[in-house]
Structure 1
Amino acid sequence: MTGHAEQITAFLAVAAEHSFARAAKSLGVAPSSVTRTVSELEARLGVQLLVRTTRRVSLTQAGTAFRAQVEPLMAGLAQAQNDVRAFQTTLTGTLRVSAPLSFGLHRLSAPLISFRDATPDVDLQISLTDRFVDILTEDFDMALRISGAPSDLSTIWRKIAPVPRSLVASPNYLAQHGTPQTPGDLTAHTALAYTHLANGNVWQLTSAASGLTEPVRIKAGLTCDNGDLLAQLAQADQGIALLPDFLLRDAIASGDLVRLLPGWNPPEIWLTAFFPPYRRLPAALDRFTACVVTALGGTPL
């Protein structure tokens, strides 16, 4: 037995062609298949929809009424199917992307410009927040995150670029409080802590020489969920910060900040793209990802 949609499609074809043979030809099936399918529809509805003669097939009064109601519904269904296919294959529609605030301000403009130039028919909506959004429940098509190894098994992800980090403080702060020579020395200093750090108030530092990792429980004098503000506070002599290098390069180059413990490295973090569990990325999302990878991938941020 065929499905309801197939039955209605066969009935509408016969009604349009006034012939089972011509309807079958338009549908690309055998005439006997169309005859059987329409008979199943009439049996299911309990009413005769067509009058069959040797010369012509005509609609009954019930058939005319039924056709008037289902024809626009089937046209709408066909349009909906075409729209869904277009979403998968054409560069149209709305694309909602979440990204970290500081990363967005410092590094996201180039891929955004490239994407908008290539896809003028896509409505791009960017949300900048350092909070880890849930892309499945919050209706995002993609989230760019700077973090360690992903642990969310409900999404798919793609690493784009490593994000080096450094321990920094201002020259004035170091003059007043001393310069730490070992990770253990950090416990005597005021730390400017990032709210979303994976290990909380414990900084994991690994020796480049020995490979040994030393966890340091910091004394957080201030905790904040934004890297730009932490960098500004470090420049204002407020303490030691552990931040991505792309937030620090200008201040280090000008001498406003100094790198600390150069022989010790924090855990590796990456700029990573997270997606809902698509079997295949929609066209606009695939193009946006390609723009981000082209602009930022391959080299450390």
Structure 2
Amino acid sequence: MVTTQTAELLAVLQLRQSGSFTRAADTLGLTPSALSKTVDRLEKRLGTRLFERSTRRVVATADGERFIAHARRIIDDLAEAEADLRAGRNAPHGTLRITVGTAFGNQLLLPVLPDFLAQYPEVRLDVSVTDRLVDVAGAGYDLALRLGPLGAADRLVARPLAIMPRKVCAAPAYLRRHGTPAHPADLARHQCLSVAESENADQWPFMIDGQPQWIGVSARVAVDSAESLLSLALAGGGIVRQSAFLLQPALDDGRLIEILQPWRANDTLPLTALFPAGRQHQAKLAAMLDFLAARFGGERAAVRPTDHKR
């Protein structure tokens, strides 16, 4: 039974990758008919369709994608267990699946991953760079990196990595057309930009008369990507409040100008690593957590449980 189930898992994984019964069967050394019967048998046992078939392509259903995420995890865990026993050691190896937002992923994470891969040559990385929220455990990820407040959901383990400061900036072209705000209260008369559905997007913190105050702004444009928001600001679309790591290259070469500096508050975003409980004992994840802490967090933070999913 175990052998049959393993064959079924391999079948759905290959079919998902190939998008064709013919190509998947050829890779697996089966006939298309045999592969089709394997998938049909599995779908019947599960009571749901895993794939939508057409004459041109086979596409996984929503249930299929969920099952495939679990199947991939099971197959990888089996491969890793075998490797552990064969090697007789616990060096980092196997596939590590990571999900990360576009801004931090593209600007900071991806540029340092070659160093991690050089340090751990037996680890393979599968990185999803997206601003779409995902079910970390349900989608089969080992690690999620989140910049900003965490949303409430299933229990995961959270490891704080770093604190990222934010700045308020605008392009010179925007400031020439609309003037430079002389006080945070002036923002009410300006075009402000924000990330859609982000927490406190229309409330910006400043220090006024020695006291922290939140200034309400009206965002005429909201986008769902931090990098897209930066592009809009660079084009003169308005005033933006974003993480300094994302703004710094444009600040350095003058494409953006920081404003309202005398009123700058302690405005920061936390960078947090999230992973399913128990995974921190995997050598590959532990290696990545230590690598990220060394690169971005300086002093290593303690692992603690939390009630967050994002």
Larger displacement relative to structure 2 (181-190 or 95-104): 181-190
Letter paired with 1:271: L
Give the CA deviation at 1:210: 1.6
Residue in 2 that maps onto 1:121: 122
Q: Could you tell me the TM-score, scaled by structure 2's length? A: 0.63
Query: Are 1:231 and 2:230 counterparts?
Result: yes
TM-fit CA distance, 1:277: 1.7
Partner of 2:270: 270
Q: 1:168 to 1:80 in 2, by over 3 A?
A: closer
Q: CA deviation at 1:284?
A: 0.5
Query: Secondary structure in 2 aligned to 1:154?
Result: strand
What residue number does 2:94 align with? 93
Counterpart-to-counterpart distance in 2, 1:233 and 1:224: 9
Alignment match, 2:182:
181
Query: Does the aligned pair in 2 maintain the 1:157–1:274 contact within 8 Å?
Result: yes
Change (3 A) 1:121 1:279: closer
Counterpart in 1 of 2:243? Answer: 244
Per-residue deviation, 1:95:
1.0
| Matches of 2:221 and 2:271, distance apart in 1 | 25
Contact 2:212 2:265 (8 Å CA) reproduced: no
Q: Residue 193 of structure 1 aligns to which amino acid in structure 2?
A: S
Change in 2 beyond 3 A, CA 1:154/1:254: same
Q: Any idea what SS the aligned residue of 2:125 has? A: strand
- Corresponding residue for residue 204 of structure 2: 204
Find runs of 4+ consecutive structure 1 residues off by over 4 angstroms.
79-82, 149-153
Question: How far did 1:196 drift?
Answer: 4.4
Question: When the two structures are aligned, how many residues end up with a matched partner?
Answer: 219
Separation of aligned partners in 2, 1:281 and 1:150: 25
- Give 1:83's aligned amino acid: A
Aligned in 2, Cα 1:236/1:86: closer, same or farther, shift over 3 Å?
same
Q: Which residue of 1 aligns with 2:255?
A: 256
SS at structure 2 position matched to 1:155? strand
Q: What is the CA deviation profile of residues 78-101 of structure 1, one whole-angstrom value per residue up to 9, with x for unaligned ones?
A: x96992893994422221001111
Deviation at 1:151, TM superposition (A): 4.7
Q: Deviations over 1:127-151 (max 9, x none)?
A: 0012332212221100011113665
1-side partners of 2:242 and 2:280: how far apart? 35
Identity %: 30
Question: Secondary structure at 2:268's aligned position in 1?
Answer: coil
Q: CA deviation at 1:188?
A: 1.3
Q: 1:186 to 1:105 in 2, by over 3 A?
A: same
- Unaligned 5+ runs, structure 2: 1-76, 300-310
1:272/1:242 Cα in 2 relative to 1: closer, same or farther (>3 Å)?
same
- Report the TM-score, using the length of structure 1 for normalisation: 0.65
Instruction: Spell out, residue by residue over 1:248-300, the C-alpha distance to the aligned partner (whole angstroms, 9 max, x if none).
Output: 1121122221112112326421211111122743110001111111222229x
| C-alpha distance in 1 between matches for 2:125 and 2:79 | 23
Mapping for residues 59-78 of structure 1, pairs under 5 Å: none
Q: Which residue of 1 aligns with 2:3?
A: none
Separation in structure 2 between the aligned mates of residue 205 and residue 243 of structure 1, nearest angstrom: 12
Seen in structure 2, the aligned counterparts of structure 1 residues 125 and 178 have a Cα distance that, compared at 3 Å, is same
Q: Distance in 2 between matches of 1:280 and 1:247?
A: 29
Which letter does structure 2 place at the counterpart of 1:205? P
For 2:99 and 2:80, how far apart are their aligned partners in 1? Answer: 28
How far, CA to CA, are the matches of 1:153 and 1:209 in structure 2? Answer: 41
Encode CA deviations 1:150-180: one digit per residue, 9 max, x unaligned: 6556111111111111111112211221222
- For the residue of structure 1 that corresponds to 2:211, the secondary structure is coil
Unmatched tracts of structure 1, length 5 or more: 1-78
The AA in structure 2 aligned to 1:259 is E
CA change 1:179–1:81 in 2 (3 A) is closer
